[in-house]
Amino acid sequence: MTQQSTALLTPRILGHGYDEDELIPPPAHPPAATESAARPLRNALRILVVESEPNAAMSLVQLLRRHGYQAESVATGAKALQAHHNCDLILLDLELPDLDGLEICRSIRAICDTPIIVVTARDTELDRVLGLQAGSDDYLAKPYGFRELMARIEAVMRRARPQRPLPQVITHGLLRIDAGTREIRLGGRLIEVTRKEFDLLHLLASQPETVISRRQLMVQVWDDSWSRPGRTLDTHVSSLRNKLGSSSWIVTVRGVGFRLGHP
């Protein structure tokens, strides 16, 4: 494969001042694309990367995992047809060594509704039309920015998985959260909180037995899918713990996120 074609297959990362935006050079001896030291997050979106170029597949899988997704890759159409049953979304390259990507797209769409985003070097208008007619939910031409890919993934999943409305009133022990009045009471006592603190606690309380990832909290509370979950989230969690009088109300699950506790 020529250097030019390899450049087309590798995601173009746009510079915005943090690690994910730097171009990742291919290693001399790349490990298998599915290897990663990152621990997958509980309930994270499972993404299947169908990409025949090892360096491009490895780079993309690593970036997706770094952003909290469970990501695996396969290099052929035949393996994609075997593996797609266990994923929530597919990133599909059309240039595969054994089968045409459009046929893979049609075959998957014929038997299930798993969202498919075509990610390919084929970038003419006809290519896009054929990809969408084959059943893909979106179409992204290489090279591309990783932030754009993230935005497209989230947009596709919003359409595929409409969010259920959160309950208006949540009671958890002495804690009562009323979304209608936007009041939090603890043992009948009103707790003064900011708008974001209310949204954060309400989201955690709506899924009391679930660990919610830091990234998901940033997306749903701050509508921010780009920034690394860091000081902003930690500051709000710390403030809520102080106002509720105990750190046990919000439990940190190291390396994953937070869940509502039982003081």
For residues 199-208, average pLDDT? 91
Q: Percent of the chain having pLDDT more than 90?
A: 57
- With b for 16 or more beta-carbon neighbours within 10 A and e for fewer, the 205-233 pattern comes to bbeeeebbbbbbbbbbbbeebeebbeebb
The confidence band for 165, taking pLDDT boundaries of 50, 70 and 90, is: low
pLDDT for 181 equals 93
Q: What is the CA radius of gyration of the chain?
A: 21
3-state secondary structure of 259: strand
Domain boundaries, the chain: 3-160, 169-260
Give per-residue pLDDT as tens, 176-196. Answer: 999 989 999 999 999 999 999
Mean pLDDT of all residues in the chain?
81
User: How many angstroms separate the CA atoms of 20 and 24, rounded?
Assistant: 9
The confidence band for 37, taking pLDDT boundaries of 50, 70 and 90, is: very low
Decide which of 159 and 51 is more confident: 51
Q: Which CATH number fits domain 3-160: 3.90.226.10, 3.40.190.10, 3.40.190.290, 3.40.50.2300?
A: 3.40.50.2300
Does the pLDDT value for residue 9 go beyond 90? no
Decide which of 23 and 171 is more confident: 171
pLDDT for 230 equals 66
CATH architecture of the region 169-260: Orthogonal Bundle (1.10)
User: How many angstroms separate the CA atoms of 169 and 171, rounded?
Assistant: 7
Does the pLDDT value for residue 20 go beyond 80? no
Q: Which of 50, 34, 62, 128 is closest to 89 using CA atoms?
A: 50
Strands (E), 122-242: 138-141, 169-172, 175-178, 183-186, 189-191, 212-213
Decide which of 68 and 156 is more confident: 156
Q: Which of 56, 126, 135, 53 is closest to 95 using CA atoms?
A: 53
For residues 149-175, average pLDDT? 83
Q: Quick check: 74 and 86 in contact, CB under 8 A?
A: no
pLDDT for 33 equals 34
Q: How far is CA 211 from CA 70, 111, 120, 172, 238, in A?
A: 15, 32, 35, 16, 17
For residues 110-133, average pLDDT? 93
Handedness of CA 223, 12, 36, 82 (dihedral sign): positive
Q: How far is CA 65 from CA 75, 133, 198, 212, in A?
A: 18, 30, 29, 16
The helices-and-strands tally (H runs, E runs) of the chain is: 9, 12
